[in-house]
Amino acid sequence: MELKFIDPRALKENPDKARRSKSNPQADALLLATIKAVGIVQPPVVAAEPDGGNGYVIDAGHRRVKQAIAAGLEEIAVLVIERAEDGGAMRSLAETLAHEQLNPVDQWRAIERLVALGWTEEAIAIALALPVRQIKKLRLLANVLPAMLDQMARGDMPDERQLRTIASASIEEQKEVWKKYKPSKADPQVTWWSVAQGLTKTHMYAKHASFGDDLALAYGIAWVEDLFAPADEDSRYTTDVDAYLGAQQEWMTNNLPKRGVIADVGSYGEVKLPPKAERVHGKPGKADHTAMYLDQRTGAVQSVHYRMPEAKRPKGDAGSGIDDVGAAAVTSTPRPDVTRTGLAMIGDYRTDALHEALARAPIEDDTLLALLVLALAGQNVSIASGKSDNPYGHANVARHAARLIGEGGKLEFDWDTLRQVARLTLVEVLSCRENRTDSGIVARFAGAAVGADAFLPNMGTEDFMSCLSRPALEASCKDTPVLPRQKVKDTRAALVQHFLTESFVHPGALFAPAAPSATAWVAKHAVVEVEDDEAGDGDSAPDPLDGLEGDQPSAETNDHPSEDGAHGDDSEAWRVAAE
């Protein structure tokens, strides 16, 4: 090794240098400023020209030589060494990696040069302190379209799975897909997920197959092994798409569940449900149906649940219908002990007495809670339940309330039974569904109180994300590595891919209502209570509960549901009881 001073303009570039792409402009500017200030701290390494030439070839330090020329230096110090057998290819790669990181494309080119010179993948991995798998991954770039390589050299790289998919496709297939997804001035970033999907549409993987070896043999499916896939992953695939889909279709037919149908898909891959069907996104009920279909992108069997509206009863089916009237006209019945007018008077007497007792008689807390459950089971209360297996929840509430009645028709229960019945009743009554079962803001109060946010499912799915607008999708990119794309579908696809391993809950799905809404609801009902108090007739002694029911019969409460989805003052009664 010898130290010499040479004009940097006389030095020649090494044809085997590792760095081919342009280096970072900011890094070059910093190096130039350093050379102008203190000169070259570490001399470049050069070797004599091959074939007995008089000049020198740069082994390491191309950027330093270039910036020295830019700084106007007439001479620089260089270290002259003997020329290596491989022309300095390994030394150039190792030295460059120790400084500014090479982009993957330049790393691949340098590795291919070393392989051509006789280096093995294992030897390269040991010399560069890299895993052998990383060397194999970089060598996949040898099968990539040159136009894609140019894009990757700019730092826009696909992930390993996408790179394997691209490299396993033919150059002609890559050209066709690249025409559709290549970058533009408006959107310079490539959606590699879409590129990979475009190249895998003719590859149907065994890991997505629901059918077994018997159907695979029957349809003549021959699996091909993906040699680049990880060893612990089933990477077998077939390009016989028709046979694959046929086997999947037969499997669905043989394994169709009760209340199940095989559904078609639309032009965008969405499942087509029967007319008037309502999609069930939560836990399906016993009365719900299942629609099975094939994912157009992967060929995998998918299923969704839905419910159909309840069929209307014929008018003659009611207990008091025409047939009953006709039978009553034929059959003679004895005169009742009390006329209908008398029964109505008894009803008024009982109602007044009940309201008086509820307002003035001492009632223990457990008895009060039990009475609330019984009240919701009354025939004057209509409960449109949010439960998927029973949209008409009144019968279930009555069944729960029956557990509180002992022998002789008296309230008999223990605290465990009361707690369980109260929970079951709340499940029947409270609902947040966007239909006639909606309980309004009171259900959100209840959800916030019991921490229901923690039970919300992952909403980062294609079904839910397709319901969001562009601003909402871009807002969902916050706190994620996903960047908004020019096309909404590309942003959505990237978010769905990201949330496969993480959970996403849209802020609008959280239970706690906005403070103005909660304040307005409380103020509204506080005013109603004051007005009701002032509306009392003054016949009884002053009491905070006077006037709550007024003089109206309880049977009329069903005709005046509150605007928030509760009936009468039930929701307020629950609040008072909880306090």
Is the pLDDT assigned to residue 80 strictly greater than 60?
yes
The residue length of the chain stands at 579
For 81, residues 6+ apart whose C-beta sits below 8 A from its C-beta are 1, 45, 46, 47, 59
Asked if 360 contacts 352 with a C-beta cutoff of 8 angstroms, the reply is: no
For 277, residues 6+ apart whose C-beta sits below 8 A from its C-beta are 289, 306, 307, 308
What's the mean pLDDT in 492-511? 89
For 106, residues 6+ apart whose C-beta sits below 8 A from its C-beta are 18, 19, 20, 21, 153
User: How many beta carbons lie within 10 A of that of residue 421, not counting itself?
Assistant: 22
| Tokens 């008089």, located at residue | 54
461-477, pLDDT tens digit by residue? 888 888 888 888 899 99
Per DSSP, the three-state class of 271 is strand
pLDDT at 100: 56
Beta strands in 39-141 (DSSP E): 45-48, 56-60, 76-81
- What Cα–Cα distance (Å) separates residue 64 from each residue in 73, 74, 409? 11, 14, 98
Is the pLDDT assigned to residue 533 strictly greater than 50?
no
Per DSSP, the three-state class of 307 is strand
pLDDT at 303: 92
What's the mean pLDDT in 437-452? 82
Is the pLDDT assigned to residue 269 strictly greater than 60?
yes
Is the pLDDT assigned to residue 291 strictly greater than 90?
yes
Per domain, the residue ranges of the chain are 2-143, 204-307, 366-451+513-578, 457-509
For residue 249, which phi and psi values (nearest 5 degrees)?
-65, -40
Is the pLDDT assigned to residue 539 strictly greater than 60?
no
Asked if 63 contacts 28 with a C-beta cutoff of 8 angstroms, the reply is: yes
pLDDT at 132: 84
Find the range with the poorest average confidence among 75-89, 193-207, 359-373, 543-557: 543-557
How far is the C-alpha of 189 from the C-alpha of 191, rounded, in Å? 7
Listed in sequence order, the DSSP H helices in 317-402 are 322-330, 340-360, 365-376, 394-402
For 274, residues 6+ apart whose C-beta sits below 8 A from its C-beta are 261, 306, 308
Q: What is the DSSP string of 217-268?
A: HHTT---B--TTS-TTS---EES-HHHHHHHHHHHHHHTPPTTEEEPPB-TT
| Tokens 């006209």, located at residue | 329
pLDDT at 544: 39
Amino acid at 372: L
How far is the C-alpha of 238 from the C-alpha of 181, rounded, in Å? 25
86-100, pLDDT tens digit by residue? 656 666 666 665 555
User: Residue 514 has what DSSP assignment?
Assistant: P
pLDDT at 401: 82
Tokens of 349: 């007497």
β-sheet bridge partners, residue 294:
301
How far is the C-alpha of 276 from the C-alpha of 504, rounded, in Å? 29
Find the range with the poorest average confidence among 142-146, 370-374, 493-497: 370-374
What's the mean pLDDT in 10-20? 74
User: Residue 405 has what DSSP assignment?
Assistant: B
pLDDT at 315: 60
**Sign of the alpha-carbon dihedral angle for 88, 94, 99, 100:** positive
Tokens of 361: 């008689």
For 440, residues 6+ apart whose C-beta sits below 8 A from its C-beta are 562, 563, 564, 565, 566
Amino acid at 414: D
pLDDT at 43: 87
Asked if 540 contacts 546 with a C-beta cutoff of 8 angstroms, the reply is: yes
For 96, residues 6+ apart whose C-beta sits below 8 A from its C-beta are 17, 18, 19, 60, 102, 110
The dotted CATH code for 2-143 is 3.90.1530.10
Is the pLDDT assigned to residue 14 strictly greater than 50?
yes
How far is the C-alpha of 551 from the C-alpha of 425, rounded, in Å? 28
pLDDT at 289: 92
How far is the C-alpha of 372 from the C-alpha of 392, rounded, in Å? 19
Asked if 433 contacts 386 with a C-beta cutoff of 8 angstroms, the reply is: yes
β-sheet bridge partners, residue 46:
58, 80
User: How many beta carbons lie within 10 A of that of residue 216, not counting itself?
Assistant: 18
Measured between its terminal Cα atoms, the distance across the chain in Å is 89
Is the pLDDT assigned to residue 565 strictly greater than 50?
no
User: Residue 212 has what DSSP assignment?
Assistant: -
pTM of the model: 0.42
pLDDT at 293: 93
